[in-house]
Structures are given as C-alpha cells and as structure tokens.
Amino acid sequence: MGDFEFEGRVEKLIPAEVRMISGCADSQTSADVGHVGEFQLPDPAGRAGGACTSALLKVLYAEERAPTEDLSWVEVLTRMREILRGDYTQIPQLTSSRKLDVHSPFNIVPPGSYGTRRAVLIGINYVGQQGELSGCHNDAKNIKKYLMNVHGFLEDDIVCLFDDGYHRSPTKNNIIYALQNLAADSQPGDVAFVHYSGHGGFVPDDDGDEEDGYDETMIPVDFQSAGQIRDDDLFKYLVGPMQAGVTLTALMDCCHSGTILDLPYRFKADGEAENMGKDERYDTEKFEAMDVVFAGAAVACCLHDICSCLFCLLALFDE
C-alpha cells in the first residue's frame, strides 16, 4: 500500500488528531514496576511515582512554571530521555494518528483552538493489593495542576479516577465509561487529554497484529475480577470514536505502553531516529473491521457498577 492510500485509510479510521507520549516501548517496563507475569501485580520496588510523568513535568513545568522557550516535540522527548538516562533504561516514544513533524512546536492546545478543554486523569495505587504503588495519585494531581495552570483547563472539565476512597474508583467499567464520554463530548475545535499512571501489562495477541505477539493493557483496580483493558479496547472506545477536528493528547505512564493506543506513526527518542515514521506492521484492515463503540453503550458499564454498590449496601442492612 502506498503512503497516500495509507494516509487516506488512516484518516477514515481515526478522524481526530491523536498523539500519545509513552514512558517506554512495548517490550519495556516502566521505572516503578517490574515484569507483569501470569498475572500478579509486580513489586514496585519502593518507587513513589512514574518516571515518565516526572520527567515530562520536569521539562514542561519545572518549579510549577512553563518553560520560557518554545520546545519542539523532539526536544521534549530528548530532554525526557536525558533525565531518565541516569537511572532508567526507559526510552520515551511519541505515536500519532498523523505523521507529525517532530521538529514543530510541542503543543497540547493547538494555536487558535477555540473549543472546550477536557481531561480524564487515572491514577491507580492498587491500595491493599500485592504490587501496591505509592505515587500514581500524585502523578495525576501534578498533571492536573499543569493542565489548569499552563493550558487553561477548567476543573469542572477534568474527570479524576483514583483508588483513594474519595474520587470515582478506577474500575474497568468506570475507566471505559470515562473514556467513552470524553470521546462523545468532544466536538470539532475541542481539546482532550488523557493521563494514565498505574500498572501496565500484556496478554497474548489474538489477531496477529502485534510485533511482539502481545496486546498491551491497562490494569484497572479490579483487574482480578473484571480483567484488563486491551489496546484494542482503547481504540474501540476512545481513539476510533473521537471526531475530526478534535486534538487528543495522551500520556501513558505504565509498562509496555509503546503502542497501547494503536496509532500508525511512531517516533522513538533513542538518539538515532530523526523523524516520525510509519509503523509498517499497522493493520488498517483489522481496524476497518472493528466496530467502534459510542457513549450510549457505556451506560451499561456505569449501571453495572452502580448496581454492584447497591447490592453491597443492601447486604450491609440485612446483616
């Protein structure tokens, strides 16, 4: 398939402009987690927060101030890599629904943007579980301050899912519901942002489109009963339904996150790549056959969690 045909098919598959910064390649683990096995959460080794989030904020929000110079995408990722280089093997990556000029200015809110700015921030510490983390809530809260103070996001337009007993719980259903609503609410001219800080995993690929033979996953707080969220699910519920004219930026601070949004173009800040390139294994036919899911179907997920809570409350009264 020629580049022109490929670009046309991708624009139909992914109408929005979607960009994702990930902390590491699919085959790498993030700094505060180890290998995700069969499946038990790994030992976080005492890390307090995600290295990817911390590095990005050190570049873009040091001492809670925006940089005085305009940085390009490649400069942001390269500086992140320099920060990580001392203690970590992580290599930040940028994937995108369009072939970006990585030497153009980094932005979350494009110049001339006139629409609403919305965000979904997910921080999971897995409180009380094996492999408990300690810094994922702080990661998300720091990103929230950055979005509000630098990019003009309003608190009412930011949805936070934390397992802290106060915010909405980051269950599988609640995460999917929040992402679907973000896609449904976002209109042409709007800006969307997604941040995930928690465990990431992988499961055997069931359709042969993954270079490493595995689907990358998010690990919701209730993964033991509800299962993991595959990259195919994220495409189906978030990436595919997002409308043309929307700009979505995602920051995925978890293991095995390099292609977790299944985007067709990639730039790796490894010091060798100079430009963004096409993922030669990207299977447009797979995604053309996929039925993306719009927000109406998400109500069932939310109702499931509500009903579960009601049953628990009723059980308490019966005791």
pLDDT tens-digit map of 194-253: 999 999 888 876 655 555 567 889 999 999 999 999 999 999 999 999 999 999 999 999
pTM of the model: 0.85
* Closest-CA residue to 118 (of 157, 165, 166, 167): 157
For the chain, what is the mean pLDDT?
83
Please tell me the predicted confidence (pLDDT) of residue 271: 85
Average pLDDT rounded to a whole number, residues 160-172: 97
Please tell me the predicted confidence (pLDDT) of residue 24: 61
255 in catalytic set:
yes
Please tell me the predicted confidence (pLDDT) of residue 290: 81
Number of Cβ within a 10 Å radius of residue 138? 17
Q: Which helix (H) or strand (E) holds 268?
A: strand 265-268
Q: Indicate which residue of 137, 195, 199, 256 is catalytic.
A: 199
Contact indicator for 70, 105 with CB cutoff of 8 Å: yes
304 in catalytic set:
no
Please tell me the predicted confidence (pLDDT) of residue 299: 46
What is the total residue count of the chain? 319
Alpha helices by DSSP H, listed for the chain, are 3-13, 51-60, 73-85, 136-151, 172-185, 223-226, 231-234, 284-288, 298-318
For residue 21, how far is the Cα from the chain centroid? Answer: 8
- Specify the amino acid at residue 198: G
| Residue matched to tokens 């153009």 | 104
pLDDT at position 137 over 60: yes
Contact indicator for 123, 50 with CB cutoff of 8 Å: no
Contact indicator for 286, 209 with CB cutoff of 8 Å: yes
Residue 303 is encoded by which pair of tokens?
Answer: 């109702």
Residue 162: exposure state from Cβ atoms within 10 A (0-12, 13-18, ≥19): buried
pLDDT at position 88 over 70: no
Highest averaged pLDDT of the listed ranges 13-22, 43-52, 284-293:
13-22
Please tell me the predicted confidence (pLDDT) of residue 47: 44
Please tell me the predicted confidence (pLDDT) of residue 10: 95
Please tell me the predicted confidence (pLDDT) of residue 202: 81
Contact indicator for 91, 81 with CB cutoff of 8 Å: yes
pLDDT at position 46 over 70: no
Per-residue b/e over 6-21, b at no fewer than 16 CB within 10 Å?
eeebbeebbbbbbbbb
Between 83-87, 114-118, 295-299, the lowest mean confidence (pLDDT) is in 295-299
CA distance 200 to 155: 27
Please tell me the predicted confidence (pLDDT) of residue 212: 54
Residue 73 is encoded by which pair of tokens?
Answer: 């995408």
Q: Indicate which residue of 24, 52, 255, 301 is catalytic.
A: 255
| DSSP per position, 40-56 | -PPP-TT--S-HHHHHH
Percent share of the chain, pLDDT over 90 = 56
CA distance 170 to 164: 10
- Specify the amino acid at residue 225: S
pLDDT at position 42 over 90: no
